[in-house]
Amino acid sequence: MLRARVTRDGQVPVVIRQRVNRDIAFLRLKRLLDLPVEYDLQLADSLGEESLPPSPVFAERVAQLKRVWRPMA
């Protein structure tokens, strides 16, 4: 149990750092989009699926690549 606590506590700085990185990324995106800082950005998808469909902008190109590229079995 002590090892588990030490391992968990060792991950706390990593979690904090990643949350800060996420916040910075959102701030940069808002600045690039010329949005106010208090604007609430939300993901368009919950990312619950293992494989997400491509954006409509890239869908045709992805379909072309899938037809050409076939992974080896």
pLDDT tens-digit series, residues 49-68: 677 778 888 888 888 888 88
d(CA 18, CA 25): 10
Residues of the chain predicted below pLDDT 50? none
Q: What confidence score (pLDDT) does residue 65 get?
A: 84
Q: Is the pTM higher than 0.85?
A: no
For residue 59, what are its two tokens?
């869908």
